[in-house]
Amino acid sequence: MVNTLAPEPTGRAPVPRSAGASGSAGGGSGRIRHRHRHRQAVVACLFLAPTLLFYVVFLALPLGFALLLSLSRWAGFDLGDIEPAGLDNFAGLFADGSTFLVPVLSNTLLFALGTVALALAGSVLVATCIEKLRRQGLWRTLYFLPILTTVVAVGNVWKYMYEPGGLVNGVLNALGLGSVAFLQDADTALPSLVVVQAWASLGSAILVLTAGLKSVPESYYEAAALDGAGPVTVFWRITLPLLRPSLLFVCVTQFLTGLQSFALIIVMTGGGPGDATDVAALEMYRQAFSYGEWGTASAAAFVLFLVVLAVTLAQLWFFRRKGEDA
């Protein structure tokens, strides 16, 4: 996930640590403090060593390696066979006849946008309604179940429910409607996946919105009640505007998650039928591990990374600006 709302490191001015020593002892304290500080630096190095080592081996090195691969031609196996290829891999992604822009990237965006819209609408509705009930914790717990479940379970259960003999079509048939081939029909496959992804992320969105709702001062509602405002007016005029930061947060995090996720799609459709549900991260995965096109895969990963980065920066910029307004 992406850090944005993090309370900024306060950047406090370095306060002398050994207050007792520095206050009274004059000349000698300098050396004590110096030794003290030196010891702290050594300890800090030790405490940070595992973390920094990890970042070198599993973050910096892979990033460099991925960048190298994206600019190379390589059949796998021997590292000595990596040949420079310039920007060929990137050019290939956007060449005529490449499916990367349409439908892969467009699917990715549709999937992310659809998830956001559905999860947002659902979580606002449910979160505001839960606020009015008793036993709020119990209700929120129920909505939480999907988050605890492995994507393999979520994907398979829904895949089965979407089948002709599954629960969803069972309900449709009971209502006198015809069956729908949700995952087999190219037109309905992607929206069907969007529903599942939104279903699975509803619980955490509700929690974030609940935190937002709890921070709305009670006096606002009292004042509105005195003025005779109905529940609908209160919702549109008070709740929704004051909930805006939480809403925005849910929007952005869901959007970023939607852009990146492909585990659910691997489990449910594998990108099919055809390439109706192929998304960028899945395409990257398949280029690498199914076709051995390591260069193309790495190039695709970087293109998607740029999209993600652009969204992240736009969000940072937006929150910064809002912070200055306040």
Q: Is 263 near another protein (CB under 8 A)?
A: yes
Among 222, 270, 314, 322, binds another protein (CB under 8 A): 222
Quote the least distance from Cβ 64 to another protein, whole Å: 8
Closest to another protein by CB, 25 or 97: 25
Quote the least distance from Cβ 88 to another protein, whole Å: 17
Buried b (16+ CB within 10 A) or exposed e, 33-42: beebeeeeee
Closest to another protein by CB, 107 or 253: 253
Alpha-carbon dihedral sign for residues 92, 98, 103, 104: negative
> What is the footprint of another protein within residues 33-62 (CB under 8 A)?
37, 39-41, 43-45, 47-48, 50-52, 54-55, 57-59, 61-62
Q: Is 75 near another protein (CB under 8 A)?
A: no
Q: Is 65 near another protein (CB under 8 A)?
A: yes
Count of residues near another protein by CB under 8 A = 115
Among 31, 121, 141, 223, binds another protein (CB under 8 A): 141
The length of the chain, given as a count of residues: 326
Buried b (16+ CB within 10 A) or exposed e, 159-177: bebbbeebebbeeeeeeee
Asked if residue 163 lies in contact with residue 169, where contact means CB atoms within 8 angstroms, the answer is: yes
Q: Is 240 near another protein (CB under 8 A)?
A: no
- Residue ranges of alpha helices (H) inside the chain are 19-24, 27-55, 61-70, 88-94, 106-130, 136-148, 151-162, 167-174, 186-214, 218-226, 231-234, 240-242, 244-260, 263-268, 280-289, 294-325
Could you give the string, one character per residue 76-115, with x where binding to another protein holds by CB under 8 A and - elsewhere? --xx------------------------------------
Burial of 277 (0-12, 13-18, 19+ CB in 10 A): buried
Q: Is 220 near another protein (CB under 8 A)?
A: no
Q: Is 321 near another protein (CB under 8 A)?
A: no
Quote the least distance from Cβ 32 to another protein, whole Å: 12
Among 22, 25, 122, 242, binds another protein (CB under 8 A): 122
Closest to another protein by CB, 1 or 326: 1
Residue type, 138: L
Asked if residue 133 lies in contact with residue 139, where contact means CB atoms within 8 angstroms, the answer is: yes
Q: Is 3 near another protein (CB under 8 A)?
A: yes
